[in-house]
Amino acid sequence: MATTQPLSTANQPPPLTGYNLFEQDTALVEAVRREGAAVWEDELAAFGATLGGEPLEWGRLANEHPPVLRTHDRYGERIDEVEFHPAWDSMLALALAARVQSLPWVDERPGAHVARAALFMLLGQVEAGVCCPVSMTFAAVPALRAQPDLAGEWVPRLTGGDALCGMAMTERQGGSDVRANETVARPHGDAWLLDGDKWFCSAPQSDAFLALAQAPAGLSCFLIERPQQGFRIDRLKDKLGNRSNASAEIRLEGVLARLVGEEGRGVRTIVEMVNHTRLDCVLGSASLMRRAVAEATHHAAHRSAFGRLLADQPLMQNVLADLCVESEAATVTALRLARAYDEADGPFRRLATAVGKFWVCKRTPPLVAEALECLGGNGYVEESQLPRLFRESPVNSIWEGSGNVNALDVLRALDREPETAGSFLAEVRLAEGADARLDAAVARLERELAEPDERAARRLLELLAVTLQGSLLVRHGPPEVAEAFCASRLQAPGGVFGTLPSTVDQSAIVERHRPRL
């Protein structure tokens, strides 16, 4: 009788599991301490240790078994339910128990937004799909505060993990142009009735939704509770990535809703939610970068080719170091942004959130693609997790406004709130005199901000972003990371990954970012 021979494990890196995602991320640990959240380190380390174990398998299962829409009749009423794999439910429960949906709203210790940002970045490395309902539930709180009676009823449920909140803004004919929405809101006693179709409803399984509809006084924001008979889920979206998360097309047929904020001021009301979810786009993309870098550096440290470890080969080392620099730049940006929310730094937060959202999210797909290539054929198969990260990588550039939408938002802020430019420049000037290349970038930025041009808006946002990142790394990063960033992003921006100057200590950069089992 023939026996099956076990597959050879020679020259195969061990799976990157069983490690502490927080403690093995030096850049994140340093940023947490620097940005005022050191008191949270024990909780972050505990969450990082938990996520590095069984939840890694939950993330895989949740993506292999995406949600399913179940529609049936019950006592003559249509019932639409979204069914998730148990792994998804386990991931969501873990996130809610860690208070990723509520931390700054329920804990008064300093640095709560920074701590919550770190929690979100750790969660996103394991399963990004769960981050969507967690993010919207978190971000709904400041929007609901525009309506104190609703806030008193719903905020305790949302922050306590007893309810989720989704969002239903975009429609087929308008997309990001929400003022073109056609959903109609009709007064109905103390409430309203909504009729219309929403092309993208995030987390349709939620208990409540913030939605925009046309009231007599103009576009307004409403809270919809679910379940109710008129809330129809037509179908779930078949998406490129974010497969474990449900997104849906819905129909509203006389759905009972309550006004949030002032009638006719819906965009102003819901923008508080959008600001916080845009921050989460930055956090989510930074987390994807970190996971891709962790996988690539781990693989290269254990895989040999042509007689040497990949990590010891100069060209591969250059690529890996370049990826590490980009990941660290995203991490320091994300947590500096989070501190601006802790400090209620309105002007800086206003501009930097849109800039960070534009740039960090744009840089994620090429970084993940390069990290995938570092694993060669191994990176192209699902077992490596890199295909899932790659499919996930474009979503945050689209969610909460594409690149052009954020670029136009920056131009609008510069025009209507000129103090935002002053606050941003004050931040980047904190490193003045420390690096000539950074000083030159700041001078260019001052000239560009004096006369912003819509046709050149993307170039302006790139300059805003890399100048901020350069300033942060020059002030706070290790010398080799700061030098690599300034030489490759400020002095000679653009090009592919793996073009760092040979004078940079690339080995030290890679070792700083490589996780240890």
Regarding whether 184 and 318 lie in a shared domain, the answer is no
Supply the pTM of this predicted model.
Answer: 0.96
Is residue 174 assigned to a domain? yes
**Overall number of domains in the chain:** 3
Which of 264, 281, 304 finishes a domain? Answer: 264
Regarding whether 112 and 89 lie in a shared domain, the answer is yes
pLDDT digits 0-9 by tens, 27-84: 999 999 999 999 999 999 999 999 999 999 999 999 999 999 998 877 667 888 999 9
| Three-state secondary structure readout of 426-464 | HHHHHHCCCCHHHHHHHHHHHHHHHCCCHHHHHHHHHHH
CA distances from 506 to 242, 312, 377, 434, 499 (A): 33, 10, 25, 21, 11
How large is the average pLDDT for residues 152-173? 95
- Residue 59 domain boundaries: 26-159
Q: What is the DSSP letter of 61?
A: H
Regarding whether 313 and 350 lie in a shared domain, the answer is yes
Buried b (16+ CB within 10 A) or exposed e, 413-447: bbeeeeebbebbbebbeebeeebebbbebbeebee
Tokens of 99: 């208070």
Pick from 9-18, 157-166, 336-345: least confident: 9-18
pLDDT digits 0-9 by tens, 215-232: 999 999 999 999 998 999
Is residue 9 assigned to a domain? no
Is residue 70 assigned to a domain? yes
The CB density around residue 386, as the number of other CB atoms within 10 Å, is: 25
Q: What is the DSSP letter of 180?
A: G
Regarding whether 323 and 186 lie in a shared domain, the answer is no
How large is the average pLDDT for residues 178-183? 86
Sorting pLDDT into bands at 50, 70 and 90, what band is 494?
low
Regarding whether 205 and 71 lie in a shared domain, the answer is no
pLDDT digits 0-9 by tens, 425-445: 999 999 999 999 999 999 999
CATH classification of the domain holding 274: 1.20.140.10
Is residue 387 assigned to a domain? yes
Cβ(183)–Cβ(171) below 8 Å: yes
pLDDT digits 0-9 by tens, 222-260: 999 999 989 999 999 999 999 999 999 999 999 999 999
Which of 264, 286, 317 finishes a domain? Answer: 264
Regarding whether 234 and 174 lie in a shared domain, the answer is yes
Regarding whether 285 and 249 lie in a shared domain, the answer is no
Pairing label, strands 304-305, 308-309: antiparallel
Helix 41-51 × helix 26-34 angle, to 10°:
150
Regarding whether 299 and 255 lie in a shared domain, the answer is no
Regarding whether 196 and 334 lie in a shared domain, the answer is no
Q: Which amino acid is located at 6 in the chain?
A: P
The CB density around residue 314, as the number of other CB atoms within 10 Å, is: 10
